[in-house]
Amino acid sequence: MKLELRGITKRFGALVANDHIDLTVQSGEIHALLGENGAGKSTLMNVLYGLYQAEEGEILLDDVVQKFAGPGDAMNAGIGMVHQHFMLIPVFTVAENVMLGHEQTTFGGRLDLEAARAKVREISARFGFHVDPDALVEGLPVGVQQRVEIIKALSRDAKVLVFDEPTAVLTPQETDELMVIMKQLRESGTSIVFITHKLREVREVADRITVIRLGKVVGEASPTATNTELASLMVGRAVELTVAKNPPVLGEPALVVRDLSVIDPQGQVVVNNVSFEVKSGEVLVIAGVQGNGQTELTEALLGLQPHVTGSIELDGKSLRNRSVRKILDAGVGFVPEDRTQDGVVAEFSIAENLMLDRSTSKPFVKAGNLQLNFLANFAREKVTEFDIRTQGIDSKAGRLSGGNQQKVVLARELSRDLRLFVAAQPTRGLDVGSIEFVHKRIIATRDSGLPVIVVSTELDEVVALADRIAVMYRGGIVGIVPADTPRDVLGLMMAGEPAPGTGEAA
Amino acid sequence: MSETTAEAEKAPVPATPSEPKDDQRWSQAMRDIVGGNAMISVLAVFLALVVGAVLIAFTDEQVQETAGYFFSRPGDMLGAVWQAVSGAYGALFQGSIYNFRRDGFLAGIKPLTDTLVYATPLIVAGLGVGLAFRVGMFNIGGRGQMLIAAAGAGWVGFALDLPPVLHLIVAVLVGIIGGAIWGGIVGLLKARTGAHEVIVTIMLNYVALYLISFLLRTPGALQAPGSNNPKTPAMKETAIFPDLLGPQYNLHAGFLTAIAATIFVWWLLNRSSLGFQFRAVGENPNAALVAGINVKNIYVYTMLIAGGLVGLAGVNQVLGTVTTGFSSGIDAGIGFDAITVALLGRSKPVGIFVAGVLFGAFKAGGFSMQAAEGIPIDIVLVVQSVIVLFIAAPPLVRAIFRLPTPGTAPRRQLPIVTKEVKAK
């Protein structure tokens, strides 16, 4: 089915999220929609899926103008969507999830589960998915859950499939498998819109590429374009994809972690017997697919996990079983993984957020009183130094863009006297420009002689920042390898296979 | 916010940054005032008064009578409506602010001082509830905290013999400490065991009520000697709040404690390190935890201070308003009214002060409305409740007055908008 969007314009108040966007997806084509976070990709797809109504423009399927009042209309017209966050019910089986929303019934209103099972089997067989219709969704690996989403869309005879950032949660191997599936779907005549901001995937699988920036189509490219060309199209200027850095000046081991285990409140061992050390002046990147214990490991370092065994020593002093306050005072700077939840207080001003973790001591507090003049000067200084784009230091942090919020967090953490810097997923959800800034700051911190730990799930970032890479899988460290380890080896390690040759040592 | 970011990136060298910025700031300020919280509160009060007027009109006999021949002489009914409503609200005004029927300014202003007397416990208790709100806690335990505080302060007031000023100070302190302990128990249970403060405060209300009732029936405890009534002896002169404006007015020095408490809470929330942590925990406990703030301790401190403030309301009752001895009804529902006051005042100290005075006026004026016009005091309660209703539904108030929604877009779409803004 041929999909055509003509002059789609979507406004939110004064903001134009989509500005006369034209897009044509031919039948049996994988069309990549490339753009930074917030460029308007998701808005466009929500318009297509009937979640938003466009102010101007029209949607055509096989040259027939469509009117979608809601997702139901879009589905009936043959549009399916595979969301970034799966819309599945964990305690239902695959078949139940697939039939959810258009349940077939037999006599007396009983659910016709058998029909749903047959449908799942039929689609699985067609594409070689190997999905058991009676498996509970919560027990399935992420990659398989995604296939359930695809089956769900196909079971409604979707002729146009929209994949919204489908690779964000996948291992490199699962990503490769998804690419194969997408190609299969293309062979069977399905049109695919593939939303992403990862350049490599686009070049591998896309037939055509449309780049969106600031809500406008800024160009079309062929898959043969280089990464740099695509990136500069996306950002609108030349971007340094690699981080310029000198070889590390290594010092003594500053942070020494031995036999660290973390047990979560449900009694699960989420970090299992992990040992590593970080030297001053070194960046250790902890790589791995989301949810393999990295979060809990960093939380344990900061004293946020209640059940921790083993030892954590910074400059010879134990950090285990200390309060967060004491650990911060010992000089640990921390950029939390979930910025909006743990990093900033949205209702606080930028200035207040800048003093958030120094709310009890000098220089921000004297004799129980806030030093507002000092804070204002400090905040103004940091806003300039970290290039925080804001109306003023009294603006609420919640009104800042993600990149600027992250700059506030960085400014706060890096302006203390640090002995160790821990950044968990510091660039997640940021635009390319902010990523560049954050990376430069991290390397600058390393060059000032601090030990730095960065948690990242993006291979590009891992390779760009690391002096050494520790790969985590299911709570354990698969191996610690040098920064020049090939990507495919890292990918295998992220799936749990130890690196060939190097073994566990390092 | 979107405009600035866009501007900043479009023109990295700010050519004339001040002018558009000022412009935006003014329009933003205008938006905050019109669409913001204070305006909603004022409009909610106004709407509630309108609803009250409708009720007064409907229940008025004259109106009902004239309604029978509305279509032949509509003027009669409209006149009756006007008379009923203006009479009622006129009486409310005269009973709460200034009575024109009395001779001279000094006599005429007496209702206002009565209003302030009623307002005093509402303000301090409202501060206690509002403070807990700011830390994200719902303090429904006003009744229990007031009763314990009243019992403590009252006991010191009638049982001990101390020099004049000292006696009052000791009584006030004992009352505040009593309320603080009763509140602190809640904070402690929440922090250590995760018990929900709503359940705990409600249960502690009963514990306090029946504990005080028991003590009031026990000779040698709170019961007045030689009496069978569950009532305490009168307070000693040395422990009573002195009159502020002389004996012809009821206004006592307790009102000064309300002013002091308001200033204290303002300082605490806006200028102190502890208050900064309070607000951080209230807005985002996760971020507060990561920033090294001991969230559990903050819960305990909050409830200690909140309980102390509510306790001060109990103190005001026994040492200021009802000095002839008290029974277990001494809290007079203030613990619950305080929730309304805190809501109406948007949990901000000055707002609570103003809301407390307004509710004091309702109380003072409600009685004279009943006396002068025969309008049941329940109408005042309806008005109070409708205020809360409107405050709880800001979009409703905005829709009635066609006010702009703060933040331009409807709330649901807001996150998406901000996401898009990033690209700008």
Report whether pLDDT(B200) > 70: yes
DSSP reduced 3-state for A470: strand
Answer with the residue of higher pLDDT: B409 or B156.
B156
Query: For residue A365, what pLDDT is reported?
Result: 92
- Sequence-distant (6+) residues with CB within 8 A of B361 are B92, B96, B97, B115, B118, B119
Distance of residue B265 Cα from the nearest chain A Cα, in angstroms: 13
Distance of residue A13 Cα from the nearest chain B Cα, in angstroms: 6
Give the end-to-end CA distance of chain B in Å, rounded to a whole number. Answer: 11
Query: For residue A200, what pLDDT is reported?
Result: 78
What are B91-113's pLDDT values in tens digits? 999 989 888 888 888 888 899 99
Distance of residue B347 Cα from the nearest chain A Cα, in angstroms: 15
Answer with the residue of higher pLDDT: B394 or B331.
B331
CB contact under 8 A, B284 and A359: no
For residue A304, list chain B residues with Cβ-Cβ distance below 8 A: 289-290
Report whether pLDDT(B266) > 50: yes
| Of B2, B284, B422, Cβ closest to residue A403 | B422
CB contact under 8 A, B423 and A39: yes
CA distance B15 to B234: 74
**With a CB-CB cutoff of 8 Å, which residues 261-290 of chain B face chain A?**
271-274, 276-277, 279-280, 283-284, 286-290
The residue type at A170? L
Q: Is B228 at the interface with chain A, CB within 8 A?
A: no
CATH node for A3-235:
3.40.50.300
Fold match flag (A3-235 vs A240-331+417-506): yes
A90, A271, A307, B201 from A268: Cα distances, Å: 19, 9, 11, 35
Q: Is A376 at the interface with chain B, CB within 8 A?
A: no
Query: For residue B210, what pLDDT is reported?
Result: 96
CB contact under 8 A, B418 and A336: no
CA distance A342 to A348: 13
Distance of residue B26 Cα from the nearest chain A Cα, in angstroms: 13
Sole residue written with tokens 């209309």: A73
Instruction: Please state whether beta strands A64-66 and A307-314 pair in parallel, antiparallel, or not at all (unpaired).
Output: unpaired
For residue A40, list chain B residues with Cβ-Cβ distance below 8 A: 420, 423
Q: Is A477 at the interface with chain B, CB within 8 A?
A: no
Q: Where are the domains of chain A?
A: 3-235, 240-331+417-506
Residues A463 and A494: beta-carbon distance below 8 Å: no
What are B287-312's pLDDT values in tens digits? 999 999 999 999 999 999 999 999 99
DSSP reduced 3-state for A177: helix
| Of A214, A328, A370, Cβ closest to residue B276 | A370
Query: For residue A68, what pLDDT is reported?
Result: 86
For residue A14, list chain B residues with Cβ-Cβ distance below 8 A: 2-3, 408
pLDDT mean over B250-274: 95
CA-based nearest residue to B331, from B237, B242, B204: B204
Report the range of poorest mean pLDDT among A134-148, B12-26, B117-131: B12-26
pLDDT mean over B183-212: 95
> Which of B10, B271, B290, B419 is the best mutation test for A, with the most CBs of A within 10 A?
B290
Sign of CA dihedral B239, B245, B250, B256: negative
Residue B4: alpha-carbon gap to chain centroid: 38
The model's pTM: 0.78
CA-based nearest residue to A7, from A26, A25, A29, A23: A23
Q: For residue A298, what are its two tokens?
A: 């960093």
**With a CB-CB cutoff of 8 Å, which residues 19-58 of chain A face chain B?**
35-40, 42-43
Q: For residue A107, what are its two tokens?
A: 């006599």
Provide the Cα torsion A352, A356, A359, A363; round to 10°: -70
Q: Is A355 at the interface with chain B, CB within 8 A?
A: yes
How is domain A240-331+417-506 classified at the architecture level of CATH? Answer: 3-Layer(aba) Sandwich (3.40)
Residues B306 and B139: beta-carbon distance below 8 Å: yes
Query: For residue B13, what pLDDT is reported?
Result: 37
Query: For residue A457, what pLDDT is reported?
Result: 83
CA distance B174 to B168: 10
Tens-digit pLDDT string for chain A (506 aa): 888 999 899 887 666 788 889 989 988 899 998 877 667 887 888 888 888 888 888 898 888 888 888 888 888 888 988 887 788 898 999 999 988 877 778 778 888 888 889 989 988 888 888 888 898 988 888 888 888 988 988 888 888 999 988 887 777 778 888 888 888 889 888 899 998 877 778 888 889 999 888 788 888 888 888 777 777 777 766 666 677 888 888 999 999 999 999 998 878 888 999 999 999 999 999 998 877 889 899 999 999 998 999 999 999 999 988 999 999 999 999 999 888 889 999 999 999 999 999 988 888 999 889 999 999 999 999 999 998 888 889 988 988 877 889 999 999 999 999 999 999 999 877 777 788 889 999 999 999 999 999 999 888 888 889 999 999 988 999 999 999 888 888 888 887 888 776 544 44
Distance of residue A94 Cα from the nearest chain B Cα, in angstroms: 31
Q: Is B32 at the interface with chain A, CB within 8 A?
A: no
> Which of A305, A325, A391 is the best mutation test for B, with the most CBs of B within 10 A?
A391
CATH topology of domain B116-374: ABC transporter involved in vitamin B12 uptake, BtuC (1.10.3470)
For residue B268, list chain A residues with Cβ-Cβ distance below 8 A: none
CB contact under 8 A, B1 and A15: no
Query: For residue A37, what pLDDT is reported?
Result: 66
Confidence of residue B17 (pLDDT cuts 50, 70, 90): very low
What are B369-388's pLDDT values in tens digits? 888 888 888 888 888 888 88
Query: For residue A470, what pLDDT is reported?
Result: 95
Q: Is B5 at the interface with chain A, CB within 8 A?
A: yes
Query: For residue A501, what pLDDT is reported?
Result: 60
Query: For residue B193, what pLDDT is reported?
Result: 93
| Of B290, B293, B413, Cβ closest to residue A12 | B413
Report the range of poorest mean pLDDT among A283-297, B119-133, B391-405: B391-405
Query: For residue B406, what pLDDT is reported?
Result: 58
Q: For residue B258, what are its two tokens?
A: 């309300």
Q: Where are the domains of chain B?
A: 116-374
CB contact under 8 A, A323 and B294: yes
Q: Is B424 at the interface with chain A, CB within 8 A?
A: yes
> How many CA atoms, within 13 angstroms, populate the side-chain half-sphere of residue B166?
4
For residue A359, list chain B residues with Cβ-Cβ distance below 8 A: 273, 276-277, 280, 291, 293
Residues B281 and B270: beta-carbon distance below 8 Å: no
Q: For residue A101, what are its two tokens?
A: 């929303």
Question: How does DSSP assign B233-284, residue by residue?
Answer: PPPPGGGSPPBSS-TTS--BTHHHHHHHHHHHHHHHHHHBHHHHHHHHHHH-
Answer with the residue of higher pLDDT: A446 or B422.
A446
For residue A384, list chain B residues with Cβ-Cβ distance below 8 A: none
Query: For residue A344, what pLDDT is reported?
Result: 93
Query: For residue B418, what pLDDT is reported?
Result: 36
The residue type at B136? G
CA distance A371 to A97: 56
Q: What is the mean pLDDT of chain B?
A: 85
Report whether pLDDT(B16) > 70: no
Query: For residue B407, what pLDDT is reported?
Result: 47
Residue B413: alpha-carbon gap to chain centroid: 33
pLDDT mean over B37-47: 85
Report whether pLDDT(B126) > 90: yes
Distance of residue A46 Cα from the nearest chain B Cα, in angstroms: 11
For residue A370, list chain B residues with Cβ-Cβ distance below 8 A: 271-273, 276
